[in-house]
Chain A
């Protein structure tokens, strides 16, 4: 049962990923990515990370991708079919296929040659997650707030209309 669920969800994730990079309409590609996010959240749950799974859904599927949707809609290209010649850089197509396939192949070969220990499992409940986050990683956590603040400043400053 567990392995059936894994293959089902993994298949969904890979399908969503392929659709994301190939679909003609930007909005549909975005929805395909949301499908991948949901599949990944299920895998995170299976790997004992419920907090990260929910944060993934809320932050990624909920906030980041909706922001993407806003920008796509703002430019009015969401529902338009991008013709094949404008969708991909034709000159890079072969090389990019080769690079990404060889990356997967290389990774697969490395995995075959290494002995991977059986999973020990963790319980990423909010309690245990928060304990480590606020004990061992307090400084990086505080620094992320600074990063987000700078991100807000940059976005406001960039998107502001020139007064001239």
Chain B
């Protein structure tokens, strides 16, 4: 079966839900951030498939913006991870309860 746009979209969905699984279950903050990267890339694949499907370049531009935004998100997320590690000597998300009332 020759792969059409549907195959690419399904692949994007599989990658996205794999990332979602990691986001929900991993306990290390770094692995959670890594899973978010995976989800963003799955969304990028969907955007670029959309661009090819409709013959419209805007999808590729959006994918480019997602990349830039992800770079900014990672810098802040990693800075927070470094801070938390400095305070608790651990990046375990189950130990982060300081916001709990």
Contact = CB atoms under 8 A, between A and B. Distances in A.
Interface of A: 2-3, 6-7, 10, 13-14, 17-18, 20-21, 26, 29-30, 33, 36-37, 40, 43-44, 47-49, 51-52, 55-56, 59-60, 63-65, 67-68, 71-72, 74-75, 77, 82, 86-89, 92-93, 95-97, 99-101, 103-104, 107-108, 111, 116-122, 124, 128-129, 132-133, 136-137, 140, 144, 147-148, 150-152, 154-155, 158-159
A138 B51 CA distance: 19
A132 B57 contact: yes
A146 to B, nearest CB: 10
Nearest to B17: A100
A21 B11 contact: no
Contacts of A144: 65, 68-69
B80 interface: yes
B35 to A, nearest CB: 6
Contacts of A86: 27, 92
Interface SS, B side: helix
Interface string B41-64: 100110011011111111011011
Interface SS, A side: helix
A120 B25 contact: no
A84 to B, nearest CB: 11
B60 A122 contact: yes
Sorting the interface of chain B by its residue count into under 10, 10 to 19, 20 to 34 or 35 or more gives 35 or more
Contacts, number: 242
Contacts of A148: 68, 71-72
B96 interface: no
Nearest to A75: B85
A17 B24 contact: no
A150 B79 CA distance: 13
A89 B92 CA distance: 10
A71 B56 contact: no
A103 B74 contact: no
Interface string B31-44: 10111011001001
A49 B62 CA distance: 12
Given A14-B14, A51-B60, A96-B25, A147 B69 contact: yes
B100 to A, nearest CB: 16
Contacts of A159: 79, 82-83
B52 A47 contact: yes
B34 A33 contact: yes
Given A52-B60, A101-B17, A107-B10, A20 B71 contact: no
